[in-house]
Amino acid sequence: MPETQRPSAARAVAAGGIAGALEICCTYPIEYTKTMQQLSTSKVSIQQVVRNTVNSRGAAGLYKGLDSMLIFAVPKASVRFASKEAFSNILQPFNLGHYSGFVAGLGAGACEAMFVTTPQETIKIKLIDDQFKSGTPRYRNTFHGMQTIVAEDGLRACYQGLAPTMFKVATAQAVRFGIFEVIPGEFRGRSPLHAAASGAFAGGVSVLMFQWVDTIKSRMQGLNAHQYKSSLDCLKQIVQKEGPAALYKGVGPRMTRASIDVAITMSLYTEIIKGLDRMFPPT
C-alpha cells in the first residue's frame, strides 16, 4: 500500500492478528516436523518424524504445541504488523526508499521477539520435546506446561534463547518486509495471488539466510538446553559433534512453512485492511 496511506495501529493489530491465527492453523504440522528434526541429535527425515509421531501419538500428535502457537499467534502477528507500521511512519521523513522496509522490519521483528515470540517458542519447543523424551509426558497441555515451567524455574525460563530468537526474528522480518516492499507495488498489488507469491519468495529467502540461527534457538529452548553454556557454545557443539550441515536441519519443512506463512499473512493482511477500510472508512 502507498506509504502515504498506512493503516492505523488499531487496523494493523486487527488485520495482523486475524491473518496470523489463520496462517498457523494451516501450517502447524510443518512447524512441528521442523522442530523435531532440529531437536534430534541424529539425522531424521520428514517421513520418519511423521511416521513415528502418528504411530506413537496418532495424527493429533502432529499438532502437539499448536495451542501454544495459537494463543500467541494473534498477539505475535498484531505486534509484528503494528510495529512495522509504527516504524514505517517514523522513518517516512528520512526518505530511505527501498531500505525503509528492511529497517522497519528489523524493528518490528525485535519487538515481536521480545514481547511474544521468545516465551511462545520456548513453551512450544518444550511441549514437543517433552512428548518424546519423557516416557509419560509431564506437560498435559500448554497451560499446564506454562504453569509447571514457571513454578519450577521461574518466569526467566520462558525467555531461554532470547538472544538467538531476537536475532532470528529481527533479521527474518527485516528480510521479509524488505524484499516484499522491494518487489514492485504494481506486481504485488495486482491481486491477492500476486501478493502471496511475493510473500512466499520473501519468506524463502529469509529461511536460506538464517536457518542456522533457528536451529540454535530450538536447541537453546529444548529440554536439554542445560548442556549448552550459551548460544555460541551451542553453535560450537553442533558443528563439532554433528557437522556444519546440522545447522540446517529442518530447512525443508521450515522453507515450506515460512513461504506459506509469509504468503498467507502478507496477502491476507492487505485484504483484511481493505475490508476494514470498506466497513469503517478512515476519517
What contacts 127, CB < 8 A, 6 or more positions away?
A: 64, 65, 68, 139, 142, 145
Q: Identify whether the C-beta of residue 34 lies closer than 8 Å to the C-beta of residue 120.
A: no
Residue 234 to residues 78, 117, 216, 221: CA-CA distances in angstroms? Answer: 31, 20, 6, 11
pTM of the model: 0.75
d(CA 71, CA 48): 28
d(CA 114, CA 75): 12
What CATH homologous superfamily does 3-279 map to?
Mitochondrial carrier domain (1.50.40.10)
Give residue 135's pLDDT: 66
Number of C-alpha atoms within 13 angstroms, CB side, residue 199?
22
Instruction: Give the confidence band of 193 by pLDDT, cuts at 50, 70, 90.
Output: very high
Which whole number is the average pLDDT over 233-258? Answer: 94
The predicted-structure confidence for 212-234, as pLDDT tens digits, reads as follows 999 999 999 888 888 999 999 99
Cell of 269: 493482511
Instruction: Give the confidence band of 277 by pLDDT, cuts at 50, 70, 90.
Output: confident
Q: Is 229 helix (H, G, I), strand (E, B) or coil?
A: coil
Which of 215, 48, 26 lies closest to 132, judged by CA? Answer: 48
Q: Please report which helix (H) or strand (E) contains residue 96, including its range.
A: none
The predicted-structure confidence for 122-171, as pLDDT tens digits, reads as follows 888 888 888 776 667 888 878 888 899 899 989 888 888 899 999 989 99
What contacts 152, CB < 8 A, 6 or more positions away?
A: none
Q: Identify whether the C-beta of residue 65 lies closer than 8 Å to the C-beta of residue 127.
A: yes
Concatenating the DSSP letter of every residue in 102-162 gives: HHHHHHHHHHHIIIIIHHHHHHHHHHHHHHHHSSS-S-SSHHHHHHHHHHHH-GGGGGTTH
Which of 61, 59, 73, 79 lies closest to 25, judged by CA? Answer: 73
Neighbours of 189 (CB within 10 A): 15
Which of 259, 74, 269 lies closest to 172, judged by CA? Answer: 259
On average, the pLDDT of the chain sits at 88
The predicted-structure confidence for 88-102, as pLDDT tens digits, reads as follows 999 999 988 888 999
d(CA 201, CA 174): 14
Number of C-alpha atoms within 13 angstroms, CB side, residue 263?
16
As a residue count, the chain comes to: 283
Give residue 1's pLDDT: 45
Cell of 30: 510443518
Q: Is 19 helix (H, G, I), strand (E, B) or coil?
A: helix
Which of 162, 156, 175, 145 lies closest to 231, judged by CA? Answer: 162
